[in-house]
Chains A and B, each alone.
Chain A
Amino acid sequence: MRRPLSALVLGLFVVTLIAPWGSPPASRAQGVDVYINVTGGGAKKLNIAIPEFSVVAGTDAGGVAKLLATVAGQDLTFSQLFSVVAATGSIPANDPAALRQSWTEFAAAGAHAGVHGLLAIRGARLEAEMRLYDLTTPEQKLIGTKSFEMPSDQARRLAHKIADEIALQFTGDRGIADTKIAYVSGPRGAKEIMVTDYDGLGPRPITRNSSINLTPVWSPDARSLAYLSYKNGYPDLFRAFPFERRPEQTLAAFVGINSSPAWSPDGRSLALTLSKDGNPEIYVLILATGVFRRLTRHAGIDTDPTWSPTGREIAFVSDRTGSPSIFVMDPEGANQRQLTTGGYHTQPRWSPKGDTIVFTSRQVTHDLWAISPDGSNMRRLTAGPGDNQGASWAPNGRHLAFQSNRLGVWHIYAMLADGSEQTPVTRSPGEQTSPSWSSRLP
């Protein structure tokens, strides 16, 4: 379906894609291609034009044609792989001469690629088609098309899916705009679970029990959330289904704490913390059988598990050597080894790519750090202001959501995995904490 990109665009993306992940900032400028735009941030991006969509059927009373272009453009900008070239108006449908003229003008304005969007509004359905053009070639080559359909009340989601497809066609890696972030909202003593689009819009409550609800974690299929709630008086674990009319499940309600749920990559198990046998230990719950298997046996605190993407290792927090540190073990509990020492390290979160574990380090305040699973390459990701903690990976392993009180109250922020491009996600009044970034929606 996707066609090969032109050599020119490919060359551009080799540099674009390698730079943010493969080399330190200082070397990013090397190997520069004259066609590559260098933005203020120093990263090289693909300049893309997304004019307003052309309405080919129905009446666009709600301004969907413009919204699709605007939101998809915001999504591509968020990815830091694209820079959106300003555009006004739409390109007429079925008018090759007008299309050629528009792309020639956008190319002159610096665009490397153009998206021609067509929109049909049919009752309560939206149908959209996008056509991707390589504007670096004289023939303005058509390099990909894709059609979408969505209920008309989900125009923003349609835009997110379009943006994700654009990212896929240009980079080989689908974007992450069609995802959700779950988080905790409210002051201490009255915290509820909420879910919002990845860009902070459309927040809605998942719990309404006026109790304390904490640590929502998406299942790998993005269909359910495991979370801790005091709704029955004690810290128990539950599973909610935000998109289905389906009763909640109780995952664990033992005497003591039932906390820190962490889904295995295949979604069939949960690692969690129980103190039912006397002190906080890590267990794995096999969902199909309901069997709990104990992994740690230590007099200290063992908690905060996170799975490697292969499911063959679990990182966790233990205070067995003094202050809390990050350890790694296999899913049977064997081969326990200490990864970090000499600090106060909690909240390990294993990258979906497998090569990095992000964690929270407390010195005077809290900041996010990263380390390789072999213990090398420990590095700082945030340096204030305020506290920065509780990271959650986007499914592509390029972005992190986290909580920060840099403005005095807790809000959710996002950044690239190297700590750059920090930007607010939630904008609601009150406090928002404990983000969990979903995989791409089904």
Chain B
Amino acid sequence: MLSRRWSGMVASLLVLSVVLAGCAKRPATTQASAPAPAGAVGSTPSGTGGGAGAAGPVAQSGPGAGTQPSGPAAAPTSRPEPREFTAIPDLKDINFDFDKYDIRPGDAKVLDANAAWLKSNQGYLVLIEGHCDERGTNEYNLALGERRAKAAMNYLVSQGVQASRITIISYGEERPLCSEHSEGCWAKNRRAHFLGKPR
């Protein structure tokens, strides 16, 4: 009765293909041809080697344990600076249905034109931004934006654009084109946006 502890008492089918046509040519690897960087502070430069999945020690987990981090890891070198890319009038946006990342038939034509421009302008690299509308939540929309950019990339690759020329980035819901809370606005914000830069 005089017990002092009361705590005891309280006690998509998304396989649904990303690309409608031309899946067969979809690259098996990630978008960049360079090795994926692993960023981990305090890691020895060699890390554990062996590709993207490994990095050196990141941090001690408890007080006083482990090694002190030495400082920020070097910026990854295989990713071009997004700010170096600029708008190219011939590269048009495509849009997506709510919570979807498959390419709509009408947008495939836009992508065909984007692919044609890229094939005849081999000196250019392309950055594909994936965007969402404000509905949904942060973490999921980052993934959704990634899938949208990847779907657009896969389509371009299927049309013969080299994967090594393409970089993708997801902004989730963070960079809307239009800020009204309406379907018209949301539809514009669900997009893949294309930017270019000379090699």
For residue A209, CB closer than 8 A to chain B, the reply is: no
For residue A252, CB closer than 8 A to chain B, the reply is: yes
Interface string of B78-106 (1 = CB under 8 A from A): 11011100000000000000010000000
* Contact between A212 and B6, CB atoms less than 8 A apart: no
For residue A289, CB closer than 8 A to chain B, the reply is: yes
* Contact between B53 and A294, CB atoms less than 8 A apart: yes
* Contact between A389 and B41, CB atoms less than 8 A apart: no
Complex CA distance for A254 and B76, rounded to whole angstroms: 8
Tell me the residues in window 343-363 of chain A with beta carbons closer than 8 Å to chain B beta carbons.
344, 346-347, 353, 355, 360, 362
User: Which chain A residues lie closer than 8 Å to B135 at the CB level?
Assistant: 362, 366
* Residue with the highest number of chain A CB atoms closer than 10 Å, among B39, B60, B81, B176: B39
* Contact between B12 and A249, CB atoms less than 8 A apart: no
Interface size range on B against A: 35 or more
User: Which chain B residues lie closer than 8 Å to A355 at the CB level?
Assistant: 11
* Contact between A13 and B6, CB atoms less than 8 A apart: yes
Interface string of B1-34 (1 = CB under 8 A from A): 1101111011111110000000000001111100
For residue B38, CB closer than 8 A to chain A, the reply is: yes
For residue B147, CB closer than 8 A to chain A, the reply is: yes
Q: Which residue of B lies closest to A390 (CB)?
A: B137
Interface string of B26-68 (1 = CB under 8 A from A): 0011111000111111110001100011111111111100100
Complex CA distance for A433 and B141, rounded to whole angstroms: 15
Q: A294-B53, A320-B14, A323-B12 are in contact. Are A280 and B69 (CB under 8 A)?
A: no
Complex CA distance for A256 and B79, rounded to whole angstroms: 10
For residue A273, CB closer than 8 A to chain B, the reply is: yes
A408 vs chain B, min Cβ distance (A): 10
User: Which chain A residues lie closer than 8 Å to B147 at the CB level?
Assistant: 279-280, 301
Q: Which residue of B lies closest to A289 (CB)?
A: B57
Q: Which residue of A lies closest to B5 (CB)?
A: A172
* Contact between A303 and B72, CB atoms less than 8 A apart: no
A188, A278, A322: the one contacting B13 at CB < 8 Å is A322
For residue B190, CB closer than 8 A to chain A, the reply is: no
For residue A69, CB closer than 8 A to chain B, the reply is: no
* Contact between A290 and B136, CB atoms less than 8 A apart: no
User: Which chain A residues lie closer than 8 Å to B144 at the CB level?
Assistant: 301
For residue B117, CB closer than 8 A to chain A, the reply is: no
* Contact between A248 and B72, CB atoms less than 8 A apart: yes
B40, B48, B176: the one contacting A251 at CB < 8 Å is B40
B176 vs chain A, min Cβ distance (A): 6
User: Which chain A residues lie closer than 8 Å to B42 at the CB level?
Assistant: 249
For residue A266, CB closer than 8 A to chain B, the reply is: yes
A14, A189, A267, A360: the one contacting B137 at CB < 8 Å is A360
For residue B158, CB closer than 8 A to chain A, the reply is: no
* Contact between A254 and B138, CB atoms less than 8 A apart: no
User: Which chain B residues lie closer than 8 Å to A10 at the CB level?
Assistant: 1-2
For residue A285, CB closer than 8 A to chain B, the reply is: yes
* Contact between A287 and B57, CB atoms less than 8 A apart: yes
For residue A399, CB closer than 8 A to chain B, the reply is: no
Interface size range on A against B: 35 or more
* Contact between A2 and B4, CB atoms less than 8 A apart: yes
A147 vs chain B, min Cβ distance (A): 20
User: Which chain B residues lie closer than 8 Å to A234 at the CB level?
Assistant: 76, 79, 82, 169
Complex CA distance for A320 and B10, rounded to whole angstroms: 36
* Residue with the highest number of chain B CB atoms closer than 10 Å, among A2, A317, A433: A317
User: Which chain A residues lie closer than 8 Å to B57 at the CB level?
Assistant: 287-290
Stretch in contact with the other chain, from A17-25, A47-55, A60-68, A103-111: A17-25
For residue A275, CB closer than 8 A to chain B, the reply is: yes
Complex CA distance for A173 and B5, rounded to whole angstroms: 8
* Contact between B143 and A303, CB atoms less than 8 A apart: yes
* Contact between A347 and B137, CB atoms less than 8 A apart: yes
Complex CA distance for A290 and B60, rounded to whole angstroms: 10
User: Which chain A residues lie closer than 8 Å to B173 at the CB level?
Assistant: 188
B13, B28, B59: the one contacting A249 at CB < 8 Å is B59
* Contact between B139 and A303, CB atoms less than 8 A apart: yes
User: Which chain A residues lie closer than 8 Å to B136 at the CB level?
Assistant: 324, 344, 346, 362
Interface string of A283-323 (1 = CB under 8 A from B): 00101111110100001111110000000000001011111
* Contact between B143 and A273, CB atoms less than 8 A apart: yes
Chain A contacts to B: CB under 8 angstroms? 2, 4-5, 7, 10, 13-14, 17-18, 21-22, 171-173, 188-189, 191, 212, 214-215, 221, 223, 228, 232-236, 239, 246-257, 259-260, 266-268, 273, 275-280, 285, 287-292, 294, 299-304, 317, 319-324, 344, 346-347, 353, 355, 360, 362, 366, 389-390, 433-434
Apart from A189-B174, A260-B142, A366-B137: 17 A-B pairs, beta carbons within 8 A? A13-B6, A188-B176, A233-B83, A239-B59, A248-B41, A250-B72, A251-B40, A253-B37, A253-B75, A259-B143, A268-B62, A278-B30, A279-B150, A287-B58, A290-B48, A294-B53, A344-B99
The list of the 5 closest CB pairs from A to B, nearest first, reads A253-B39, A249-B41, A300-B14, A290-B55, A250-B39
Query: Could you pull out 13 A-B pairs where Cβ atoms are within 8 angstroms?
Result: A5-B4, A14-B6, A14-B9, A18-B9, A214-B138, A233-B83, A247-B70, A260-B142, A273-B143, A287-B59, A288-B61, A344-B99, A347-B137
